[in-house]
């Protein structure tokens, strides 16, 4: 039961790396935020598409979705002994809603009902590279603008320095990045076994 979170700007390769990881590690349960709950759908179909009146509304919706997601999906899978790999979690709210102007202390407070992951990994890539990657995916989503993603990346990197999160160079081939994440998880699992 290890809770792993993969973070990074849109187009950093999170989904790609996570799908490779599930082949490199045993007993993996993959999930993501915004989640598939009704709150997650509200975020995807309304907040991210049409836009909210204030970025605090986004922060509150993401936090509400996260509490539901943790209680209903993540916690039960951890109890069953899975390595839960979640694409985005509290650090996404700190980075994106923080970049949109919401005070970080406020974001931390509304997210204080969920526990910290065992491992948070930041996939780091130049926003210009990331935008070029996501352009192939079709129309740009709400946050997929260069100047905004530069601010988001800045917050991720300062949070990583503060919290000691590993930052991986995600401009490399996805297979290489996935192997490095797998090594970090295995190291963590190994150190836990040797202390228990
Ligand atoms: N390491 C990589 N090198 C080149 N292209 C990549 C890499 N990782 C992902 N991609 C491509 O970039 C796009 C965005 O990747 P994705 O995994 O969906 O990113 P995210 O989940 O972080 O938004 C996809 O078209 C994917 O195939
Ligand atoms: C979880 C979370 C996501 N987001 C944003 C990041 C993404 O732009 C968007 C999620 O859309 P999604 O299409 O899942 O992202 P991706 O492009 O990474 O595959 O929501 C926040 O702003 N705050 C959050 O707390």
What is the DSSP secondary-structure string of 13-46?
A: SHHHHHHHHHHHSSSEEEEESS-SSHHHHHIIII
Asked if residue 91 lies in contact with residue 160, where contact means CB atoms within 8 angstroms, the answer is no
pLDDT at 1 over 80: yes
| Residue set of the binding site for ATP | 8-15
pLDDT digits (tens, 9 = 90+) for 72-109: 999 999 999 999 999 999 999 999 999 999 999 999 99
Q: Is the pLDDT of residue 4 over 80?
A: yes
Rg (the chain; Cα; Å): 16
**pLDDT confidence band for 195 (50 / 70 / 90):** low
Mean pLDDT of 57-83: 98
pLDDT of residue 196: 60
pLDDT at 141: 80
Q: What is the rounded distance in angstroms from the CA atom of residue 91 to the CA atom of residue 95? A: 6
pLDDT at 38 over 90: yes
pLDDT of residue 161: 98
Give the distance (Å) from ligand 2 centre to CA of residue 145: 13
The pLDDT of residue 31 is 98
Residue 122, pLDDT > 80, answer yes
Say which CATH topology domain 2-195 has: Rossmann fold (3.40.50)
**Would you say the ipTM is above 0.85?**
yes
CB contact at 8 A, 106 and 57: no
Ligand 1 pocket by Cβ (under 6 Å): 8, 10-16, 133-134, 136-137, 170, 173-174
Average model confidence (pLDDT) across the chain: 96
Pocket probe mutation, ligand 1, options 6, 7, 16, 32, max atoms within 8 Å of Cβ? 16
* % of the chain residues with pLDDT over 70: 98
193: pLDDT strictly greater than 80: no
- The CB-side HSE value for 74 (13 A sphere, CA atoms) comes to 28
């Amino acid at each position: 039961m290890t809770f792993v979170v993969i973070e990074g700007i849109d187009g950093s390769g999170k989904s790609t790396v996570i799908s490779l990881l599930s082949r490199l590690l045993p007993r993996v349960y993959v999930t993501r935020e915004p989640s598939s709950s009704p709150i997650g759908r509200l975020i995807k179909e309304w907040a991210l598409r049409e836009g909210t009146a204030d970025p605090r509304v986004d922060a509150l919706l993401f936090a509400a979705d996260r509490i539901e997601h943790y209680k209903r999906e993540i916690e039960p899978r951890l109890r069953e002994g899975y390595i839960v790999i979640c694409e985005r979690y509290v650090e996404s709210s700190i980075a994106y809603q923080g970049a949109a102007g919401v005070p970080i202390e406020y974001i931390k407070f509304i997210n204080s009902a969920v526990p910290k992951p065992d491992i948070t990994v930041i996939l780091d890539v130049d926003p210009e590279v990331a935008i070029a990657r996501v352009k192939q995916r079709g129309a740009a989503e709400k946050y997929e603008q260069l100047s905004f993603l530069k601010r988001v990346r800045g917050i991720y990197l300062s949070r990583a320095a503060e919290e000691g999160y590993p930052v991986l160079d995600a401009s490399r081939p996805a297979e290489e990045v996935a192997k490095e994440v797998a090594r970090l998880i295995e190291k963590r699992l190994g150190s836990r076994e040797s202390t228990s």
